[in-house]
């Protein structure tokens, strides 16, 4: 049986992952808006694009982690569908 502390830790980890994903997505959204600014120098644009690539890679890692966790979790439904054991009564 799983201890309650372990479940609480998993829930906190999931919340932290969700928060990280939201923050990375927001940062990328703002970076794209900033990249459209015509006053940026070529060097600033290049640095911003490099940071965006790193952020995108971090976001992919976070999303992969969430995907792996959901794949490992058993179905939360209480019903399982299996082949019933049928007998013919005569």
Rounded Cα distance between 85 and 90, Å, is: 16
Q: Can you give the pTM of this predicted structure?
A: 0.66
**Encoding tokens for residue 42?**
């070529």
Domain residue ranges in the chain = 4-71
DSSP character at residue 36: T
Residues in the chain: 90
Per-residue pLDDT tens digits for 15-60: 888 999 999 999 999 999 999 999 999 999 999 999 999 999 999 9
Q: What pLDDT score does 1 carry?
A: 41
Q: What pLDDT score does 51 carry?
A: 97
Q: Report CA torsion sign: 31, 32, 37, 38.
A: positive
Report residue 81's pLDDT band, with 50, 70 and 90 as the boundaries: confident
């Amino acid at each position: 049986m799983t201890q309650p502390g372990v479940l609480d830790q998993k829930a906190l980890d999931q919340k932290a992952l969700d928060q990280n994903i939201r923050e990375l997505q927001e940062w990328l959204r703002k970076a794209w808006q900033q990249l459209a600014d015509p006053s940026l120098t070529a060097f600033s644009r290049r640095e911003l694009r490099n940071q965006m690539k790193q952020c995108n890679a971090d976001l992919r890692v976070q999303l992969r982690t969430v995907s792996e966790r959901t794949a490992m979790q058993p179905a939360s439904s209480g019903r399982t569908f299996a082949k019933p054991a049928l007998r013919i009564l005569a």
